[in-house]
Amino acid sequence: MPKLNKAQVMIIDGVLSLLVAIILSFVLFAAWPQTRHPSAELTLERAGYDIANAFYEDETLYQTIRKGLETKGYLSAGEVSYLSTRLYTYGRLLGVGRIDIDVDGSTSFSVEMDSSLRTRSEQFPLILPLKGGAENRLVRVTLWR
């Protein structure tokens, strides 16, 4: 075995340290638990499912939209106010920050649950049947978080 001087030993030592550090980091990173759980990232998608249910199954919500659109073709200030109150409750329960509602050919309005900075949004379309299902109206719902 060749005799190594002090400088060569130090260089080899440094290289070995680096290799071991890389291996160690690799092992630690691969086995390290997730700091964020994916469920938190998917709040908007989960909420989207429930909001769709709310529009179709909450009789008072659906009937308010249906009456407004069938009789006048648009939603009045009173109807928007009622819907906002109702949607505020849903938004708070589902953990979303804001809900934007855009009714095709009618009013657009927003319901704010909290005033924190919005970073993510998810939009989905709802087709609301009117006049006993003889007509459709598109409602675009955007959820913010």
Partner 1 sequence: MEMKRGFAGLLVLSAFMLGLVLLLGSHLPRISSKGYSSIVAAEIHSDRITIARNVITKSYRMVDEANRPQWASSIGRELYYSYGLKVSMNLKKYPAEVNITDTSNGMSASFILT
Q: How many CB atoms lie within 10 A of CB 34?
A: 6
In whole angstroms, how far apart are CA 107 and each of 13, 24, 85, 98, 101?
71, 59, 16, 17, 8
Pairing of strands 108-112, 121-130: unpaired
Name the minimum Å distance from CB 127 to partner 1: 5
Question: Which 15-34 residues touch partner 1, going by CB under 8 A?
Answer: 16-18, 20-21, 24-26, 28-30, 32, 34
**DSSP 8-state secondary structure symbol assigned to residue 53:** H
User: Is residue 63 near partner 1 by the rule CB under 8 A?
Assistant: no
Residue 124 to residue 140: CA distance in whole angstroms: 6
User: Is residue 126 near partner 1 by the rule CB under 8 A?
Assistant: yes
Which residue stretch of 2-10, 72-80, 84-92, 109-117 sits at the interface with partner 1 (rule: CB under 8 A)? 2-10
Contact indicator for 100, 108 with CB cutoff of 8 Å? yes
Name the minimum Å distance from CB 70 to partner 1: 13
| Token duo for residue 34 | 């997730």
CB closer to partner 1, 109 vs 124:
124
User: Is residue 112 near partner 1 by the rule CB under 8 A?
Assistant: no
Residues near partner 1 (CB under 8 A) are 6, 9-10, 13, 16-18, 20-21, 24-26, 28-30, 32, 34-36, 38, 41-42, 45-46, 48-49, 52-53, 56-57, 123-129, 132-136, 138, 140
